């Protein structure tokens, strides 16, 4: 059985979710990574640990708490209702919020590592040349950390595409809104439609391999010019 | 002290030799009564039922791929029949252990009236329902909505759960104002536990027959046969009825 409209809809939705999530994460993650890389504050440990939590927590834990927090009795849910945007579970916006949390470490950590690898020296030199801190950040730190940004964007995107447990917990499986590829595959398997499941599952394997291959070929670690 | 322990060990050893263990895959909607029945079963027969709760479709895939379950208490009658036809279950062991009742439920008291008029009135954003493609309670909900002629209005508000337990979870957390769940999930001691509910009349959908069957791995096992016999007994039937199933 060839992929049908619901399969293609799920693919399109997944790409949209991963793109939006990655863009938000690059904007939100960069300042967090910068702060974590430069700070000598006592807070570095706790903040770094919170950022890394999604790596070790089962997605069901994240999904369960998001469902409670974003529900009508949760803090976030009451806030979003107060804002007039209603409740987030079962919406595309809700999936974006969940994905941002879920993929945060995969974006913050590569950027943070890249910033740390620069060291103090280039920034001190920039300062002696009277570059402002913001100027030095954009003209020195960011260009030197380009491989880190590339890794962060690719991993953030790929990790969001591979998301399943959190979406299952808060998505509600609505076509074109919250039914992403991983959930669609799960449904196909549950409904014993193995042929359709194979199409999507094989595509996921190919996609993930290509992404990682591109990452490791274009961006070899340990060899920096 | 030491001697008492030795005697206890010996007694346990003897009991262990006679009593067996049976591994049971149980439909998510039957979790509550099964916990009671499993405890009674162990007390009355000495056999121990080790239970796993989940979606029947998933159990099917696992059983076909060698999962070590010996008995299946399905949420439908087609899965056990299919397993039997495929030779993965013991022929002739199949029987209906419960007939499920569908209920429209809300965590909010007073939200659901006792005629289900809320479905026509509207005023809700989401209705959680177990995926009708894979879950019998979901399919029954769609049939009931069609019979009430509100299918087109209500179905766009569906949020699909992977099984009836998740359908309940969406409604219990208030994220879906309404949910089609199993009466067994919201009933305790013969009454609705919390929130508000409308028990969907049984003639609005095909009966949700839930069948049990002994699987290939349970063939000839006394504990498996004892469990099915126990499910047919008066004590288990009373438990099943008190949880909101027809028989």
pLDDT at residue B8 in the model: 53
What pLDDT was estimated at residue B192? 82
Cβ contact (<8 Å) for A192 and B61?
A: yes
Nearest CA in chain B to A184: B162
Q: What is the pLDDT of residue A220?
A: 62
What is the pLDDT at residue B185? 87
Cβ contacts of A202-208, under 8 Å, gap ≥ 24: A203/A11, A204/A161, A204/A162, A207/A161, A208/A158, A208/A161, A208/A162
- 3-state class (DSSP) for residue B208: strand
| Residue B219 contacts A, CB cutoff 8 Å | no
Kindly state the helix (H) or strand (E) to which residue A45 belongs, with its residue range: helix A44-56
Residue that the structure tokens 């609705």 belong to? B192
Contact state of B162 with A67 under an 8 Å Cβ cutoff: no
Q: What is the pLDDT of residue A163?
A: 92
How close does chain B come to A187, measured CA to CA in Å?
8
Residue A157 has what DSSP assignment? H
* Cβ-nearest to B174 among A72, A90, A170: A72
- Tell me how far apart the alpha carbons of residues A142 and B132 are, in angstroms, rounded to a whole number: 51
| A57-71, A207-221, B194-208: least confidently modelled range | A207-221
User: For position A9, what pLDDT does the model report?
Assistant: 92
Confirm whether B14-99+209-242 and B102-199 share one CATH topology. Answer: yes
The whole-model pTM stands at 0.80
Kindly tell me if the per-residue pLDDT of A110 is higher than 60.
yes
Model confidence at A1, in pLDDT bands (50, 70, 90)? low
Give Cα separations from B43 to B18, B36, B39 (angstroms).
14, 11, 6
Contact flag A173-B126 (C-beta cutoff 8 Å): no
Q: What is the pLDDT of residue A194?
A: 85
In the CATH scheme, what is the code of domain B102-199? Answer: 3.40.190.10
Q: What is the mean pLDDT of chain A?
A: 90
On chain B, the residues whose CB falls within 8 A of the CB of A73 are 173-174
Q: Which of A68, A80, A172, A177 to mutate to test the interface with B (most CBs of B within 10 A)?
A: A172
Which residue in B57, B64, B155, B173 has the most chain A C-beta atoms within 10 A of its own C-beta, making it the best mutation to test that interface? B173
Q: How far is B50 from chain A (nearest CA, A)?
A: 24
**A71/B134 touch (CB, cutoff 8 Å), yes or no:** no
**Domain boundary assignment for chain B:** 14-99+209-242, 102-199
Please give the structure tokens belonging to residue B194.
């919390």
Neighbouring C-beta atoms of residue A199, cutoff 10 Å: 16
Residues of B in contact with A90 (CB under 8 A): 126, 159, 175-176
- Residues paired with residue B51 on neighbouring β-strands, in sequence order: B24
**Dist. CA B41–CA B22, nearest whole Å:** 11
Go through the domains of chain A in sequence order and give each one's CATH number.
Answer: 15-36+58-178 (1.10.3720.10)
Q: Please tell me which of the candidates B57, B61, B159 has its beta carbon nearest to residue A172.
A: B159
Q: With a cut of 70, say whether residue A215 has pLDDT above it.
A: yes
B22 sits in which H/E element: strand B21-27
CA distances from A43 to A15, A36, A88, A103 (A): 35, 9, 30, 21
Chain B residues with CB under 8 Å of A72 CB are 174-175
Is it the case that residue A82 has pLDDT exceeding 70?
yes
CA-based nearest residue to B105, from B188, B184, B177, B31: B177
Q: Which of A68, A173, A187 sits opposite B159 (nearest CB)?
A: A173
pLDDT at B171: 94
What pLDDT shows up at residue A121?
86
| Min distance B31 CA to chain A CA atoms (Å) | 20
Decide the pairing of beta strands B208-214 and B127-130. unpaired
Interface test with B, best of A190, A196, A201 (most B CBs within 10 A): A190
Main-chain dihedrals φ then ψ at residue B104, nearest 5 degrees: -95, 120
Position A190 confidence tier, pLDDT thresholds 50, 70, 90: confident
The secondary structure of residue B141, as a DSSP letter, is: H
Give the residues of chain B that fall short of pLDDT 50. 11-17
What confidence tier does A6 reach under pLDDT thresholds 50, 70, 90?
A: confident
Topology annotation, domain B14-99+209-242: D-Maltodextrin-Binding Protein; domain 2 (3.40.190)
Distance from CA of A155 to the nearest CA of B (A): 28
Q: What is the pLDDT of residue B189?
A: 74
DSSP 8-state code for residue A129: T
Q: Do A191 and B173 touch (CB under 8 A)?
A: no
Q: Is B232 on the interface with A (CB under 8 A)?
A: no
pLDDT number for residue A155:
94
Strands B178-182, B127-130: pairing is parallel
Predicted ipTM of the assembly: 0.76
């Amino acid at each position: 059985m060839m992929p049908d409209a619901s399969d293609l809809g799920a693919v399109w939705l997944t790409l949209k979710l991963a793109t939006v999530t990655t863009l938000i994460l690059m904007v939100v993650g960069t300042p967090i990574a910068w702060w974590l890389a430069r700070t000598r504050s006592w807070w570095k440990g706790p903040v770094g640990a919170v950022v890394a939590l999604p790596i070790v927590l089962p997605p069901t834990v994240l999904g369960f708490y998001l469902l409670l927090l974003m529900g009508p009795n949760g803090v976030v849910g009451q806030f979003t209702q107060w804002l007039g945007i209603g409740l987030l579970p079962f919406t595309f916006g809700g999936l974006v919020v969940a994905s941002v949390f879920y993929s945060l470490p995969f974006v913050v950590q590569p950027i943070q590592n890249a910033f740390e690898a620069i060291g103090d020296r280039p920034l001190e030199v920039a300062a002696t040349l009277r570059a402002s801190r913001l100027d030095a950040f954009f003209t020195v730190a960011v260009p030197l950390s380009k491989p880190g940004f590339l890794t962060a964007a690719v991993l953030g995107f790929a990790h969001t595409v591979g998301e399943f447990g959190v979406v299952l917990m808060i998505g509600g499986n609505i076509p074109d809104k919250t039914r992403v590829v991983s959930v669609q595959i799960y449904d196909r398997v549950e409904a014993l439609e193995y042929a359709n499941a194979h199409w999507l599952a094989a595509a996921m394997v190919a996609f993930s391999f290509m992404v990682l291959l591109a990452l490791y070929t274009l961006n070899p670690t340990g060899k920096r010019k | 002290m030491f001697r008492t322990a030795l005697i206890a060990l010996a007694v346990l050893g003897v009991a262990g030799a006679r009593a067996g263990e049976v591994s049971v895959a149980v439909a998510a909607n039957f979790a509550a009564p099964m916990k009671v029945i499993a405890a009674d079963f162990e007390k009355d027969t000495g056999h121990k039922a080790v239970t796993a709760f989940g979606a029947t479709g998933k159990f099917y895939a696992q059983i076909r791929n060698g999962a070590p379950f010996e008995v299946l208490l399905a949420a439908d009658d087609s899965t056990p029949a299919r397993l039997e036809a495929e030779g993965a279950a013991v022929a002739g062991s199949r029987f209906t252990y419960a007939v499920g009742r569908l209920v429209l439920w809300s965590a909010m008291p007073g939200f659901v009236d006792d005629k289900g008029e809320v479905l026509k009135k509207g005023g809700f954003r989401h209705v959680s329902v177990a995926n009708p493609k894979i879950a019998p309670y979901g399919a029954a909900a769609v049939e009931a909505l069609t019979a009430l002629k509100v299918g087109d209005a209500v179905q766009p508000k569906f949020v699909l759960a992977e099984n009836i337990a998740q359908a309940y979870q969406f409604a219990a957390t208030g994220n879906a104002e309404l949910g089609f769940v199993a009466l067994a999930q919201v009933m305790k001691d013969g009454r609705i536990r919390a929130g508000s509910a409308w028990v969907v009349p049984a003639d609005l959908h095909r009966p949700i027959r839930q069948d049990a069957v002994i699987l290939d791995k349970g063939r000839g096992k006394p504990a498996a046969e004892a469990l099915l016999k126990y499910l047919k007994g008066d004590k288990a039937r009373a438990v099943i009825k008190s949880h909101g199933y027809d028989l």
